[in-house]
Structure 1
Amino acid sequence: MELRHLEYFVAVAEELSFTGAARRLHVVQSGVSATIRALEKELDATLFERSSQRVSLTDAGAALLPEAHAALDAVRAARDAVRGNQGTLRGAIDIGAMTAVAVMDLPALLRRFRTNHPGVAIRLRVSPTGSAGLAQALVAGELDAAFLSLAGRTPGGLTVRQLTSYPMVLLVPTGHRLASRRRVALHELEDEEFVDFPPGSASRDLVDQAFTTAGVRRRVSVEADIASAAAYVRCGLGITLLPEFAVPDTPDLSVLAVGDETLRWTLSIATSSTRRPSAPLRALLELADAYASTAPEEPDLHDLGSGDRKSATDHKE
């Protein structure tokens, strides 16, 4: 068994496509197919179920995948050790992010990383399924690190480092019965209709947990994304809880603090807790830690390079 066999196997397993794997590996598809057939012959096992519509892992393939990742990680660690001894980092790092990380200047962070480590290629994936999709990709070994927001317990198989956090605030129309208040308790919201995000998003999970813990039932009448929630509130379709950074600066909406101190949205960088971090990943984590140590608890949006408050709502959890 050659290292190339495992590299090709992992590519097909993650892409679930021979064509996609060939594109990722920059080789012809016939070469990928031949390599997988050779590996299956050597192992005397079928690793993939193939049809004209789909490719899927067999039980044998699913059993091989974590071992293949471990073997490739070990080889990468050996290369890192030699390159580190030579005083330079090389290789690649796969990073995931939400559609827009409005509360930090991710492009500037990655530019600084590339300036410090020009020999490391960065492959950035933006997740259309938000933090949940990024967490799944990390567990599956498709990413080395991800900038995401998680509510509640850390998913199994992940290590999470918090970078910054913001309180959740209540957004109501100016004519609402609570508009003149500065602070509100959760039990005062039981009869309200809410605009919220789809189940599974970090903010939705966070708010659901807080209301459940408080023993307060609530009704979600509109499910929207973080960029449009305020518009539905403005039209009187409900009230919403948003991270403070995502509140638009408009005169027809009132912002209230919430008495529950646990309602805080967090931005974190997550990595696999079962895979040994590569030297480039360790360097990225050091840079992220430096950002966290210098970022204010509730930083000004302009200081983080996110533009005005309206542009800060361009964010997918």
Structure 2
Amino acid sequence: MDLKQLEYFVAVAEERHFTRAAQRLNVVQSGLSQTIRALEDELGGPLFVRTTRSVALTAAGGVLLEEAHRVLDAARAARLAVTQVHGLARGRLRIGAIQSLAPFIDLPVTLGRFRDAFGGIDIELRFDGSADLLDEVREGRLDIAFTQPPVLPVAEVTTKLLVCEGLVAVCPPKHRLAGAHDVTLADLARESHVDLRADWGMRQLIDASFAKAGLDRRIGFEVNDMGMLLELAAQGLGIALVPESIAKNRRDDRHARPVACADIVEDEEPCWEIVVGYRARGDEAPSVVVQAFLDVLVRQAGVP
């Protein structure tokens, strides 16, 4: 058993889906499945109960998941400790990001903890559109970028999936779709929508999903702020499609107008993805500074 096998196992266990886990790890699904089978053979029994649509942990898998998290966290802590001993006394880290990282990634907290660990590294941060960010990593103007996955691979840039979360339809509690399950895109196309402006990655994802299904939709309001988007949906001025975590945060806010959610049928569900990209060829490791930052990110946020 090695660290890579444990990383693959944790990805499948957390995603409950081999395809999403392979996307998260940036590997082919057949290779991921082979690694899991080899791990199961080594440990003497199944770690997952597999169905056609998802996987679930066996009792043995549940025990291994807890231990795997502990081992992987210890390995990252050891690497960080050695990096600190070796230096990184001076340097620069240039970070680019899209606007909609929260609540998936707490970038300010990660930056603060990185500064505490490596105070001699100058940090630059700026926000831009997703396509431009990866180009700037390739051209050497950024060291790392948090963005949407590129449609086509970007030369000399490695991307790793950090977030893969389905969208839900947000509406008022008395709306006909409130609490519904397995809602289709055709159902949603009959509703008026509130949405973000066309240059937002989330808007582009939603537009592409409806276009792929051959559906048109009516957008009654177009805004440039996620909070305003949710407030308009809460007022019944149209439904809004947002990642589940964002909708949950809204529902948990006792000071906000109540909203409800409808779950989209799995085969049609748009999936909001965030990747981290850095300059490297093939299986090359990132630079020492970038790797140190990624280790802080993983330890702080628990992202893969």
Q: Would the TM-score normalized by the shorter structure come out above 0.5?
A: yes
Please state how far the C-alpha of 1:159 moved relative to its aligned partner: 2.3
SS at match of 1:189: helix
Q: Which residue of 1 aligns with 2:288?
A: 279
SS at match of 1:283: helix
Please state how far the C-alpha of 1:170 moved relative to its aligned partner: 0.3
Equivalent of 1:268, from 258, 270, 275?
275
Q: Is the 8 A contact 2:95 2:142 kept in 1?
A: yes
Q: Which residue of 1 aligns with 2:110?
A: 109
Please state how far the C-alpha of 1:151 moved relative to its aligned partner: 5.3
Q: Is the 8 A contact 2:183 2:264 kept in 1?
A: yes
Q: Which residue of 1 aligns with 2:151?
A: 153
The percentage of aligned residue pairs carrying the same residue is: 32
Q: Which residue of 1 aligns with 2:175?
A: 176
- The reply to whether residue 93 of structure 1 matches residue 102 of structure 2 is no
Where structure 2 has 5 or more consecutive residues not aligned to the other structure, the ranges are 1-82
Q: Give TM-score scaled by structure 2 length.
A: 0.59
In terms of Rg, which structure is larger? Answer: 1
Moved more, 161-170 or 173-182: 173-182
Structure 1 ranges of 4+ moved more than 4 A: 273-277, 289-292
* Distance change >3 Å, CA 205–CA 291, structure 1 → 2: farther
**Which residues in structure 2 correspond to 1:133-212 (within 5 Å)?**
133-148=132-147, 150=148, 153-154=151-152, 156-157=154-155, 158-179=157-178, 181-212=180-211
**Which residues in structure 2 correspond to 1:1-317 (within 5 Å)?**
87-89=86-88, 90-99=90-99, 101-103=101-103, 104-125=105-126, 127=127, 129-148=128-147, 150=148, 153-154=151-152, 156-157=154-155, 158-179=157-178, 181-224=180-223, 225-247=225-247, 248-249=250-251, 250=256, 252-260=258-266, 262-273=269-280, 277-290=286-299, 294-295=302-303
SS at match of 2:86: coil
Please state how far the C-alpha of 1:258 moved relative to its aligned partner: 1.0
Where structure 1 has 5 or more consecutive residues not aligned to the other structure, the ranges are 1-83, 297-317
CA distance in 2, matches of 1:271, 1:175: 46
SS at match of 2:226: coil
Aligned length: 209
CA distance in 1, matches of 2:262, 2:150: 23
CA distance in 1, matches of 2:182, 2:153: 32
CA distance in 1, matches of 2:238, 2:149: 23
* Distance change >3 Å, CA 258–CA 211, structure 1 → 2: same
Q: Which residue of 2 aligns with 1:74?
A: none
Q: Is the 8 A contact 2:171 2:240 kept in 1?
A: yes
Q: Give TM-score scaled by structure 1 length.
A: 0.56
Please state how far the C-alpha of 1:164 moved relative to its aligned partner: 2.7
* Distance change >3 Å, CA 251–CA 134, structure 1 → 2: same
Cα RMSD, aligned residues only: 3.1
Alignment-mate amino acid for residue 143 of structure 1:
L
CA distance in 2, matches of 1:264, 1:290: 25
